[in-house]
Amino acid sequence: MRVWTAHLRRDAEPVLLREGFSWGAFLFGPIWLAVHRAWIPAALSFVVCVLIALLAPTPIAGILGPGLAWLLGLTGRDMVRWSMAQRGYIETHVVVARNDVDALGRLLANRPDLIGRYGAAEAR
């Protein structure tokens, strides 16, 4: 079973974000954060990557680079949550399910008022 957090904003569809380690953030770091619209964490992690590459001696960079990647993997989803909060989303529910489809089904079963929000963005 996996855990998702549901984030709501008045003018947008609900968003489900999975908890846990992010292999995408681990492997692609700042690019993964930027794709998920976490602009500030993406910029900061990019700057740290550049500083490690330019300023750290080779043996230390060999430790700091993978360490930063591991840290981004552990905290990447939390940085996306923080960025969503900055854009006005409110974390409202925690959903436990086997996959994202079941998680969405459970969220909508508990909050049927959210059903009308799906597809509303496409109609605009």
Between CA 90 and CA 87 the distance in angstroms is 9
More confident position, 8 or 119? 8
Provide the pLDDT confidence category of residue 123 given band limits of 50, 70 and 90: very low
Between CA 16 and CA 2 the distance in angstroms is 12
Between CA 49 and CA 14 the distance in angstroms is 33
Q: Please give the biggest Cα pair distance in the chain.
A: 56
Between CA 48 and CA 42 the distance in angstroms is 10
Q: What is the mean pLDDT of the chain?
A: 92
Provide the pLDDT confidence category of residue 121 given band limits of 50, 70 and 90: very low
Residue type at 76?
G
Q: Among all chains, which residue has been given the structure tokens 């001696």?
A: 57
pTM: 0.85
pLDDT at 50 over 90: yes
- Residue 29 structure tokens: 């770091």
Over the stretch 74-115, which tens digit does the pLDDT of each residue have? Answer: 999 999 999 999 999 999 999 999 999 999 999 999 988 888
| The pLDDT value given to residue 118 | 63
Residue 2's nearest CA partner among 14, 23, 17 is: 17
User: What is the dihedral angle through the alpha carbons of 20, 88, 43, 58, rounded to the nearest 10 degrees?
Assistant: -20
